[in-house]
Amino acid sequence: MSLVTLLPFIVLIGAMFLMTRSAKKKQQQAASMRNDMQPGSGVRTIGGMYATVKEVNEDTVLLDAAPGVELLFAKNAIGAVLTDDEYNRIVHGIEHDLKSDSDVVPDDASSLTDTETDEPADEAAAASDEKSVDLGKKDTAEEPADDAPAKADVETEAEAVEAKPDDEPKKTDGDSGAK
């Protein structure tokens, strides 16, 4: 056999070796992380629960989830051991690394708008009242383009009901001739 026919097999075996080696490294790192757990450290389980380690045994870990709530977990169920700052930030909402002199993003945009205008607020409100926008649904064919009053500005309810076409479908008993 020639080297050209063996080359794809060699590449495939090399790729498999590299993938299994990286997976073994991750497993070893996770095992060492779980073995290095100390009572008092914050952890996150693989289910997403945050708790404090109370006691570490050979295969199990006793976690304090809340005051008076102790849970027994397998060591393999610990997803991550957190640093004290990270645990306090997530669980208690305490931020230790905030800089007091840094820019703070406001909760609303009211502080970003310019409150000073050329005209006082009363004049601005009066000007906005003059140009009121009617958002009601109107038939444009009935109203003229200019502001002159139409011939019938006000309709009574009876006239509106009479002018409205009957758009509802007729109900039948199901014996229609179409089959």
Q: How far apart (Å, rounded) are the C-alpha atoms in residues 148 and 131?
A: 17
- Determine the Cα–Cα distance for residues 13 and 9; give it in Å rounded to an integer: 6
Its pTM stands at: 0.44
φ, ψ of residue 110 to 5 degrees: the values are: -65, -30
Q: pLDDT in tens for each of the 179 residues of the chain?
A: 688 888 889 999 999 988 898 889 988 888 888 888 889 989 999 999 999 999 999 889 999 998 899 999 999 899 889 888 888 888 888 776 555 555 666 667 666 666 555 455 555 555 555 666 677 776 655 555 555 454 444 555 555 555 555 556 666 666 656 55
